[in-house]
Amino acid sequence: MSTSEVPEVPEGRPVIRLRSCNIRGKFQRWMKCPEFVEAAGCCEINVFLETRMSKDSMAAEEGIPGFTRHSIERESGESYPGGGVAVFVRDSIQLEKSVLSSPDILVLDSQEMMVVGAYILPSNSVPDDSVGDSYGRLAKLLKLCGEEEKPVVIIGDLNARVGVSVLRESEDKVVSPRGKLLLDSCKETGMQIFNGMFTNSSSFTSHKPGDGKSVVDLAIGNRSAHQLVAAMRIGSQLSMKADDGRTLSTDHSEVFLDLFDPRQSASL
């Protein structure tokens, strides 16, 4: 049974919906699943993490009609590398890949907004020379994003547990060492973690049997983005039938973030 439950779009002003999910590899199989492609069509920006694709494999992969694909793959030289980020942007939204992009951190930019899809390796992972210090690069990017006047959103699996605060509720009360670093960076840069600030946004996002449940898939934005948030919701874990009849699934929940269209706001 498909469990990609796309929430209704808020009524009123035009909205850009961002959707993020760690798909645990098998990108090619996901792309052959009609339900997966159909669900992507319900959102303006789809961020898929841990694609585990080489550059050649990604280049040969078909896209989604009506969407432009941007991606970043690891320079590992392996036929089946880890990490990787792919973002499908509806053609009516003109975002371009920025030079600020780096392994596992894909930065898309325009005059009206910036969107970052990020996958940060767990702190206990075996180091990957092709990735380097991905969290250090994310921290530097947070500083740049905090200085931007236009809306900036960072969304993805950051493998950082940030607990609760006066502004945020969460089913995950734990603050991990990396989560503490992220909280400090957000405080220094004026960036805000959106998880737990809005109805239906405080649920667990990672459901690994061994590590238990946690909140590590986050949406973060600057002040301009915060002012445009229409809604946020933690969805379900993806689970659907692939073209070969076998079930594809993830151990992460989808994250949905609705922003009032900044292009409309700029014209007001």
CATH numbers and ranges of domains, the chain: 15-267 (3.60.10.10)
For range 190-194, the mean pLDDT: 98
Q: What is the pLDDT of residue 268?
A: 45
Dist CA 240 CA 235 (whole Å): 15
pTM attached to this predicted model: 0.93
Over the chain, what is the mean pLDDT? 92
Q: Which residues contact 255 (CB under 8 A, 6 or more apart)?
A: 19, 20, 21, 155, 205, 217, 218, 219, 232, 233, 234, 235
Q: What is the pLDDT of residue 264?
A: 83
pLDDT tens digit string along 82-116?
A: 899 999 999 999 999 999 999 999 999 999 999 99
pLDDT tens digit string along 5-56?
A: 656 666 678 999 999 999 999 999 999 999 999 999 999 999 999 999 999 9
Is the predicted pLDDT of residue 146 greater than 70, yes or no? yes
For range 184-212, the mean pLDDT: 95
Is the predicted pLDDT of residue 158 greater than 60, yes or no? yes
Q: Which two tokens stand for residue 8?
A: 């209704």
